[in-house]
Amino acid sequence: MTQLDLAPSSPEDGPAAIETEADEAALQEHFDSIAELGRDPHTDVLERLGKDRALAMLQKMMEIRQFEQMAYLRYLQKEIPGTLHQSQGQEAVAVGVCTPLTDTDWITSTHRPHGHALAKGMRSDVAMAEIYGRQSGALGGRGGSMHLGDPAIGILPSIAIVGGGITIAPGLAMAAQHHGTDGVVACFFGDGATNEGAFHEGVNYAAVKKLPVVFVCENNLYGASTPFHETTLNVDVASRAAGYGIPGEQVDGMNVLAVLEAMERAVERARAGEGPTLLECLTYRYVGHSRGDSRGYRTKEEEKFWKDRDPIDQLKNKLIETGVATAEETDAAIAAAKATVKEAVAFAQTAPNASPESALDPSAIFAAPPQPQTIAPVLADGPEERKLSIADALREGLRQEMVGDDSVVLLGEDVGVPGGFGGAFGIYLGLAEEFGRDRVVDTPISEKAIMGVSIGAAIAGMKTLPDLQYADFVFEGMDELVNEAAKLRYMSGGKLSVPMVLRCPVGATQRGAQHAQSPESMFVHVPGLKVLCISDPYTAKGGIVAALRDPDPVLVFEHKLLYGSKKRQEAGSIDTRAYVPEESYVTAVGQAQLRRAGSDVTVLATFTQLYAALEIAEELAAEGVSVEVIDPVWLSPFDWDSLYESVGRTKRLVVAHEAHLTGGWGGEVAARVNEKFFGELLAPVRRVASKDVPMPFAPWLESAVLPSRDQLATTIREVCGLG
């Protein structure tokens, strides 16, 4: 191949894309790879396709090109709000990858999704209406350009977090495997995403479990404006597949026939149960990263090299040269694509805006919004032989659900080895032996993958219960949980649900700062997540069943000192054994629990503070003070009506939790109660919580940070005027 002069030919050409000989060598090697890959004429693929399908591919590539060009022009005219990321030049990858797929196969996409969505079957008019923010858009205006999707034809709303789909795709594939179909998932991402932790965790998970995923890297040389070779020593992305024991193939991403041929091999392998493939499509984005990107970091010669290999021109010329189609037929296909986009723009321009009311519809946030209800009565007692620990009650509820619903699957670290731990706290003991390792799935130590797989599988019809051992480890999967599980229903316009339950053991047990947090308050701040706090065995069984039957993502927080597990006895454990009915039952989502009736002061408490409050209430009763103790149970959705009814009677409120004081959920409760009862309260709302420092290890230091029983007792007395 002729060596390229990569320096700009004159000052007005802008700065060079390279600065060192090593940079030049890396870029030259990339160009050489493209030239070598492009030598295969792929005539046999064209003959197999036939004229109609080949012309359809040409038309679809032109439709994508024209869609993005027209969208950009309308964006500059301020008709389209928000932002817009284009992919002109990369059309061959989208069309080549999606052509072998069916409506029942899935794709996951990126913040640059237009081509992927159109290639998978989305109509241009509904796509254009979506980026205009219209009610008739694909997602009712909630997704816009960066979140195009349509689950009905296998398009997950695109994920704008770099690498975000790489952990979700294996979950969608796991569901296909679980349901016994031959479904395949194509996961699009850019070269920059290969340096995300999600890439390693997602690809490794799919490889280990032999899941039907095709990982498609659109390597266009740049992550935004940064050259890939400046951030990555091994720019041969396909070669990384060997590290996961799966095939990797580098493909000319400017040649739609080459992409199609490689994708057909990968899809055939996936449908046959042979596992994932990594495709690296060498391609180029003609335009900048976004509107403000003038591409000054590239040379004109570099851009010319790629535009001379334009994917639309290549296919058009190949069709004419081989006699598969005439020039008139190719021109007609191109004209039809342009007409389609013109009609799409006209449709979007005249369609009504999505109504502001639709943005606030509760059913858009939760598939199952809570129903109005009164507070649950004081827990009933029962025979001694049915008094269970929280650990036993959780296990019984899980087991009964797994018996009755084979879509329920547990997955996590150390959960499924027969004779093993049964999870960090022994909750799953015996379940792997009973249900098998396809239902109780041991995973790599990969929290992002565990969360992503659980979300993807839940979207595709399973009910997943991921286990990360400790609540502290949830932060490793925060992107998947907060940006995806919580938002996919809303972004999809209500077309998706994520029935996933994440168990989160919390609380200080002399393990130090990274195994002792109580982060439940953080998730109350995230619309789309439900937050359940389990403090007794009855709620443990009925609550975990309710969570597993709920169509929305639920985080279940449990305090380690309350389990009462025979397998693990913790210092300071509280005896929580209580009556639990043998039959399956559910507790109501969003319903608080009355633990003790009273008339002088309301105490709202969870976990260890709940049991301290009950003891203190018993003592104060002897002094003539009547304390009402309420367990909120659900922090989201919160039972405000029951709390307001109680405080409306007592005119006093103390909130107690082990979470830190600042930003703790008690602060939100205090604010709302003050707003509602300002001028009626007989004392200020008071909070008892952990001090605002990380949790230390030594018991005497830990106790200095935690809220003490004496502190709670003193606070209640002061609120009642006894201090």
Residues sharing a CB contact under 8 Å with residue 346, sequence separation 6 or more, in sequence order: none
Q: Are 500 and 367 in contact (CB under 8 A)?
A: no
Contact yes or no for 284/90 (Cβ under 8 A):
yes
Task: Tell me how far CA of residue 193 lies from CA of 188, 220, 244, 407, 485, in angstroms.
Answer: 10, 12, 17, 32, 20
Indicate the helix (H) or strand (E) that contains 634: strand 634-636
3-class secondary structure, 505? strand
Task: Enter the DSSP assignment of 551.
Answer: S
Catalytic entry in 42, 85, 515, 660:
515
Contact 64, 311 (CB under 8 A): no
Neighbours of 520 (CB within 10 A): 25
Say how far apart CA 422 and CA 680 lie, in whole Å.
51
Annotation says 515 is catalytic = yes
Q: Using alpha carbons only, what angle is made at residue 380 by residues 377 and 381, rounded to the nearest 5 degrees?
A: 160
CA–CA gap between residue 169 and residue 448 (Å, rounded): 12
Q: Could you give the angle at the alpha carbon of 236 between the alpha carbons of 233 and 239, nearest 5°?
A: 115
Dihedral (CA of 485, 486, 492, 493) sign: positive
Please check whether residue 95 is in contact with residue 57, taking contact to mean a CB–CB distance below 8 angstroms. Answer: yes
> Measured in whole angstroms, how far is the alpha carbon of residue 645 from the centre of its chain?
37
Is residue 181 within 8 A of residue 102, CB to CB? The reply is no
Alpha-carbon distances, residue 366 vs 123, 458, 480, 499 (angstroms): 28, 15, 18, 11
**Amino acid letter, residue 372:** P
- Single out the residue of 723, 709, 539, 706 nearest to residue 617, CA to CA: 709
Residues belonging to the active site: 515
